[in-house]
Structures are given as C-alpha cells and as structure tokens.
Copies of this chain bind each other. A is one copy, B any other.
C-alpha cells in the first residue's frame, strides 16, 4: 500500500521550500501538506489552546492535498493527524526551512516544532533546513538529500521519542557527505534595536548574531555546514536530564 506522508513547515503554505518538498515526496507516497497560513518562524513547539483554528483546503499541488491552518506548526500536525488524515501517517516531513536550524536554533525552530510534534505521536519525523537566507534560495538542490534521507527513514523507522534535524549547507548541490552530528555549543548575542514610533514611543526589534563556542569541533552541525557537509542531529523529545541522583541535594 502507498505510504502516507504528512508535510508541514513554519514558513507558511506560500513558501517555496515546502512546494519543492511536496513535489519530491510525491514519488515516495501519498502526500498531504498542512501548513500555517502565516509565517511562524521561531514558534518552537507553541500550540494554540485559547483560540479556535480554521482549516482551508486549497487546490491540490502535483497530486498532493494542500491545507492551510491559522495556527502554529504544532497545530498543523495535530489537526492533520486528529482530523484531516484517513489514518496515522507513515512519516512527518517538515521544511524545507529557509535558513539554518543548527545549534541552539533547534529549540526555537517552528520547523523542528512540527517534527517534534510528529515524534510526540510516535511517527518517524524529520525536519529539513537549508542554510541560506537569500530570497532566491535554490531549494531544488536539496532534493536529492531529502529523498535519500526520507527513503531511509521510511524503510527503517526511528527509535521512539527521537526525530531528526537535518541542515543542508548553502552549497548543497556539491555536498561532500551526510554526517550524524550534535548541536554546536553557542549562544545568540542578542540585542534589541530601539526605534521610535510616530508618537515618539519606543519599540524594540530583536537583532544579534550567533556566537559559536566550539568552532573547531568537527562533530558539530555548525562545523559541517561550514565545510559543505549535510548535518543530521538526532533530537530527543523528552528533555529530562537522565541522572536525577545528581540533584538529590534539592530534596533534602
């Protein structure tokens, strides 16, 4: 029987990255694509609890069912699995995100929010991102990598509670290898730029740059992306630190 593939993203149903993804995945199964109406970058695993959701079915795209939802990436996965799909999908594929979700970005990413939500349902789930912020980023160059990884995951599955954060280097058309890595240590050196509105009231806009704290470590996603290598980070849904005995002092 044909496999059922659920696709979502955080760049919205209008994004080029998700259209390229849908076209490629059509060769691997039946595709249903459920995406946010509005861009949802940085929405992490946010879900809508205090507002209603509206779902709009759009025209099919290359044989895939297309839906837009006025919510977050997590909302899209939830309402797809609970209400829109005929059965639990075989895989959740999120992306292709326009910009890197390497290092600490994994925790803020709406694309990875969708993948983690798939994981919460016990569905093998993968998020794909392209390390490019150019407006005309070429997502088609990602497709051989996407197809290769999705095929493997569909064949072999993933352990329960673990999904994949796949980041592709900007020059992915000539990628050197696919490497299983870890999130690079580092932090955002944030600052808020101050502006004044027409009534001279201040408002603030987030700016800043990522500071890599282990630039020489070849096992990190950032190093791989800087060296033309596709990075795959296995990501755990359950954030419990596994050695509670180290915290017994809290209970005394």
Q: Is the CB of B107 within 8 A of A237?
A: yes
Pairs A-B, 3 closest by C-beta atoms: A234-B241, A44-B45, A46-B46
Asked if A39 is at the interface (CB within 8 A of a chain B CB), the reply is yes
Asked if A156 is at the interface (CB within 8 A of a chain B CB), the reply is yes
Q: Is the CB of B249 within 8 A of A152?
A: yes
The CA-CA distance from A247 to B240 in the complex, in Å, is 21
Asked if A62 is at the interface (CB within 8 A of a chain B CB), the reply is no
Contact with B along A224-252 (1 / 0, CB 8 A): 00000000111111111110111111110
When distances are taken between beta carbons in the complex, the residues of chain B under 8 Å from A152 are: 249-250
When distances are taken between beta carbons in the complex, the residues of chain B under 8 Å from A247 are: 164, 180, 232, 234
Q: Is the CB of A82 within 8 A of B191?
A: yes
The CA-CA distance from A72 to B162 in the complex, in Å, is 27
When distances are taken between beta carbons in the complex, the residues of chain B under 8 Å from A201 are: 54
Min CB distance, A251 to chain B, in Å?
Answer: 5
Min CB distance, A199 to chain B, in Å?
Answer: 12
Q: Could you tell me the dominant secondary structure of chain A's interface residues?
A: mixed
Q: Is the CB of B236 within 8 A of A239?
A: yes
Given A180-B244, A240-B236, also A52-B251 (CB < 8 A): no
Interface-forming stretch among A89-97, A131-139, A181-189? A181-189
Asked if A78 is at the interface (CB within 8 A of a chain B CB), the reply is yes
The CA-CA distance from A41 to B153 in the complex, in Å, is 33
Interface-forming stretch among A1-9, A14-22, A26-34, A202-210? A202-210
Asked if A43 is at the interface (CB within 8 A of a chain B CB), the reply is yes
Given A42-B48, A43-B46, also A251-B177 (CB < 8 A): yes
Asked if A58 is at the interface (CB within 8 A of a chain B CB), the reply is no
Given A250-B180, A251-B179, also A53-B156 (CB < 8 A): no
- Given A44-B74, A232-B251, A237-B239, 15 further pairs, Cβ under 8 A: A47-B108, A48-B206, A52-B195, A54-B202, A55-B204, A75-B206, A82-B190, A82-B191, A104-B238, A107-B116, A120-B188, A185-B238, A232-B247, A234-B241, A235-B241
